[in-house]
Amino acid sequence: MKITHCKLKKSIQKKLLQFFVLEVTARSAADLLGIHSNSAALFYRKIREVISHHLALEADAVFDGAVELDESYFGGHRKGKRGRGAAGKVAVFGILKRGGKVYTVVVENAKRESLLPVITKKIMPDSIVYTDCLSSYDVLDVSGFHHHRINHSKKFADRQNHINGIENFWSQAKRVLRKYNGIDRKSFPLFLKECEFRFNFGTPSEQLKMLRKWCDV
């Protein structure tokens, strides 16, 4: 999948790619380039669609070794019980391979029935799995994984026994998304995959190189 049927000049497209990587909003990019804000917003959406497409192609890659699991909630302002979906928020499940990439997926809730199919598909048996104390992860004790729990109330980081990597991703993702001042639920998965992309391809130069290749710009 590439960006096609775009009426913007190639020079403008290249600039928009650069602004996207630098986290310049579509509105600000439009002002800087002297184009209509809708044109910039549409191009940004196409970038996210390309990112989502290419990450989906990689989604079958299986993680092994040391892996961190965690769930987080995005949007809304009402607090709710973690296993029951946190009212008004979107539940996201994340898996991070230490020293590697992160994988995210929107889930209905953080119950075992929602998380276990993702875990068994994405993580090799016999892997070392780190989680917090959410009861949904109890099943991992008898599922062929080496399961370690982190009790945040006692100690957050103890050498290898932590989930700091995935927690760092959540912080980065929420920082990126905060500047958009609200994202509708239908578009949220595209923005989530943008955050996954930024984390997995860490430097701006690496991100720009990959986007130029994927978007053919």
Global confidence as pTM: 0.89
pLDDT in tens, 154-192: 655 566 678 999 999 999 999 999 888 778 889 999 999
At residue 81 the predicted structure's pLDDT band, cuts being 50, 70 and 90, is low
- Answer whether residue 77 shows pLDDT above 90: no
pLDDT in tens, 100-133: 999 999 999 989 999 999 999 999 999 999 998 8
Query: Residue 94 corresponds to which amino acid?
Result: G
Q: Which helix (H) or strand (E) holds 10?
A: helix 10-21
**Structural domain boundaries in the chain:** 10-57+200-215, 66-171
Q: What is the CATH number of domain 66-171?
A: 3.30.420
How many angstroms separate the CA atoms of 17 and 23, rounded? Answer: 10
Give yes or no for a contact between 119 and 147, defined as CB atoms under 8 angstroms apart: no
How many angstroms separate the CA atoms of 140 and 134, rounded? Answer: 11
Beta bridge partners of 148: 130
